[in-house]
Amino acid sequence: MKSLRTVFLAALALPLVLAAKPLRIGFAQTGAESAWRTANSESMKSEATKRGIELKFSDAQGKQENQIRAVRSFITQGVDAIVIAPIVETGWDPVLREAKRAKIPVILTDRNIATADESLFACFIGSDFYEEGRMAADWLAKHTGGKGSIVELQGTPGSAPANERRKAFADALKNYPDLKIIDSQSGNFERSGGKQVMEAFLKKHGKAIQIVYAHNDDMALGAAQAIEEAGLKPGKDIVIVSIDAICEAVKAVADGRLNCTVECNPLFGPKVYDTVAKILAGESVPKKAFNKDELFDATNAATALPTRQY
């Protein structure tokens, strides 16, 4: 049995130990497929360092099973909170139930999930992908007079941004019967994927292609390269619209090589950690919080460039 004195000393020391213990947060990142992703990882890491948070960062290399494994390992390590950027929308319930049983709050960032049980996560923080797709389609309708043949470069199959950007765009096109998607394939959100798929599209459809709608800038930039290699001028012979607004794409818009990019802000490290702190303090947080996104085209890209942060 412990002596009274030991118990007394231990009780005195406890608040000190608790105060000194840094927050431990596990972050299951998708991978490193795009410049957007690099900026997102950097924001999460640098903000953790700034706040003295011990961040356990896992790169799933584009595979959901790796992400699930990372979440399980965070549970075993007994972290204070788990942050996930879910690669795909489905298949999360079992591992989220394990986190719930272990009483570890889960914050979804960037991409949402499809689940019938929303009690399995504390909240979602990210962009409204449907709204981004709608903005891209509206811009296109306005700048083409509602006419043209489109090829679509989709993001990672099954991912929330690919699903929603595709759906929003298709829904908006219903109002413009002469704007048509003639082909659509996944380039996996990667530059090399965008280039390869565009090369195949050019071989198959040749001069019939008037417009490229890419679900992200990396694929749009890859497609621009394929168009140049085919002896055509991206941004002129073929209109290119995409999403993310990474620096390189905003610059390409200013240079006339791309025509429009809808912003999707990846710098939400501060918002994520503020939210984690609130949850751990027992405060309530909104179930879904969306970042506000802008659109860049020839009218504002050059002016915006100096202040772009990613």
Contact positions vs ligand GYE (CB under 6 A): 33-34, 36-37, 110-111, 161, 189, 216, 218, 243-244, 264
Name the residue among 241, 240, 258 with its Cα closest to residue 249. Answer: 258
Q: In the bound complex, what is the minimum distance in angstroms from residue 38's beta carbon to ligand GYE?
A: 9
Q: How far apart are CA 226 and CA 209, in angstroms?
A: 13
Cβ closest to ligand GYE, residue 75 vs residue 125: 125
Output the CA angle 203-208-214, nearest 5 degrees: 75
Q: How far apart are CA 154 and CA 165, in angstroms?
A: 8
Q: How far apart are CA 235 and CA 259, in angstroms?
A: 6
Cβ closest to ligand GYE, residue 80 vs residue 244: 244
Q: In the bound complex, what is the minimum distance in angstroms from residue 78's beta carbon to ligand GYE?
A: 28
Q: How many CB atoms lie within 10 A of CB 76?
A: 10
Cβ closest to ligand GYE, residue 30 vs residue 144: 30
Q: In the bound complex, what is the minimum distance in angstroms from residue 145's beta carbon to ligand GYE?
A: 28
Q: In the bound complex, what is the minimum distance in angstroms from residue 36's beta carbon to ligand GYE?
A: 3
Cβ closest to ligand GYE, residue 75 vs residue 310: 310
Q: In the bound complex, what is the minimum distance in angstroms from residue 97's beta carbon to ligand GYE?
A: 24
E strands in 111-214: 123-126, 148-154, 179-186, 211-214
Cβ closest to ligand GYE, residue 80 vs residue 218: 218
